[in-house]
Amino acid sequence: MLNYLGALLLMYACSTVALLAQNDDLLSLLEEEAETEYATASFKTTRVVNGHSIENVGAGVLDFKISHRFSPLNQGLYDVFGLDGATIRLGFDYGITERLMVGIGRSSKEKIFDGFIKYKVLRQSSGKHTMPISLSALADAQIKTVRFANPDRENYFTSRLYYTFQVLLARKFNDYLTLQLMPTLVHRNLVETRAEKNDVYSLGIAGRVRLTRRVTLNAEYYYVLPNQLASQYVNVFSIGFDVETGGHVFQLHFTNSADMTYKGFITETTDRWFGSPNGIRFGFNISRVFTVVKPPEFR
């Protein structure tokens, strides 16, 4: 009987020590988390202009996006400086976790459906744990559903498919300045000529400058490495303002691309900011967020 009681006491003592050790570990983790400050609001929304920013929507949050790109401004008053014509994209972005986000969209240009998955690998932080940059990985797929130009020839479904793989590296230097680099690969299953590459490599650079608490100046530029595209295609540059109004973010900008998908604005832009053909367009994105699943602490 004494042996039995001794064994019980020994087991109780061991479990108590283990429990205290676990509590100490948990407390130390919480203290480290409290002492680590993560960078937030590097950009006001998940897009810079056409391409992605380092930002994700929160877990359980749905972001509904309406995007327009109007016709070129040089068409003058007859076309109300391009407002008579437009391409549109409707999209939904959803945060599965604080680091993982998915999204779908549909563009009127070439009737493209697109979907993506985006994961934040690193978060810029200071304090107990220091990380100088934020890093996200993005995979995007696009399918062109416009009818084939020649339905009588042998057409393949795979010819409609395009893929994009991108790494986003960003640093928020202070409350006023954020810079971002975007090494990007666009794969096209079908190209128009043998001179063009199926795999197109480009390097994007983007920035955000805070003007007021609710207004920022955004810009992005994608440089396509030489000898990958036909000579009529040019690099895309976009610049504009983000205006935050509570639950909405209005992005008003000028760009030389009518496309809002990666395969379009990186590999198929033909209009130039300067020279001929000149094709600067006014455009906007409207972002409206909804909380679909509340975090546990708010339920």
- pLDDT (0 to 100) of residue 149: 81
| 13 part of a folded domain | no
Contact predicate 155/127, CB 8 Å: no
**Do you find a cis peptide bond into 72, omega within 30 degrees of 0?**
no
| 11 part of a folded domain | no
Contact predicate 90/106, CB 8 Å: yes
| 260 part of a folded domain | yes
- pLDDT (0 to 100) of residue 31: 54
| 22 part of a folded domain | no
CB-based burial, 215-238: b 16+ in 10 Å, e otherwise: ebebbbbbebeeebbeeebbbbbb
| 221 part of a folded domain | yes
Q: Which helix (H) or strand (E) holds 223?
A: strand 215-224
Predicted confidence pLDDT, tens digits, the chain (299 residues) = 434 444 443 444 444 434 344 545 544 545 555 688 999 999 999 999 999 999 999 999 999 999 999 999 988 888 888 888 899 999 999 999 999 999 999 999 999 999 999 999 999 999 888 999 999 999 999 999 999 888 878 888 899 999 999 999 999 999 999 999 999 999 999 998 888 999 999 999 999 999 999 999 999 999 999 999 998 999 999 999 999 997 789 999 999 999 999 999 999 999 999 877 778 999 999 999 999 988 665 45
- pLDDT (0 to 100) of residue 33: 55
| 19 part of a folded domain | no
- pLDDT (0 to 100) of residue 153: 83
| 1 part of a folded domain | no
| 126 part of a folded domain | yes
CATH number at residue 129: 2.40.160.40
Helix (H/G/I), strand (E/B), else coil: 299: coil
Residue type, 128: K
- pLDDT (0 to 100) of residue 10: 41
Helix (H/G/I), strand (E/B), else coil: 128: coil
Domain span at residue 261?
35-298
Domain count, the chain: 1
Helix (H/G/I), strand (E/B), else coil: 138: strand
- pLDDT (0 to 100) of residue 9: 39
* Phi, then psi, of 29 in degrees rounded to 5: -65, -45
